Amino acid sequence: MDLVYIRQLEIWTIIGIYDWEREQKQVVSISLEMGTDIKLGAENDAIEKALNYKAVAKRLIQFVEGSEFFLVETLAERISEIVLSEFKVPWLKLQLGKPGAVTGSKEVGVIIERGQR
């Protein structure tokens, strides 16, 4: 299996459990590895035959900007569901972070792996 990836896609959204977090957008950082077979796209040199990482990024930006979750865990699960179902990848690894959420740390968050059921 080959991997197509997106690193540190930053998107502003409402995320968090505290009152101030419900009123003020914060940045989340998404890194995503998606299992795929790049052979068909490479042989044809055609984006229509490849996993289009720009299309994935645009879809995630649209979704995350419009979302309002309490937990990064919930947001990570919803993102994985979108990528698996809409882009038909068999497997993904997603890292979702909240930069600056804990004093003294650069970022906190979750890493999940999911596959087709």
Q: Catalytic residue numbers? A: 98
H-run or E-run covering 11 = strand 2-15
State how far the Cα of 14 lies from the Cα of 48, in Å rounded to an integer. 34
Return the bridge partners of 4, or none: 34
Which residue in 15, 3, 18 sits closest to 97, CA to CA?
15
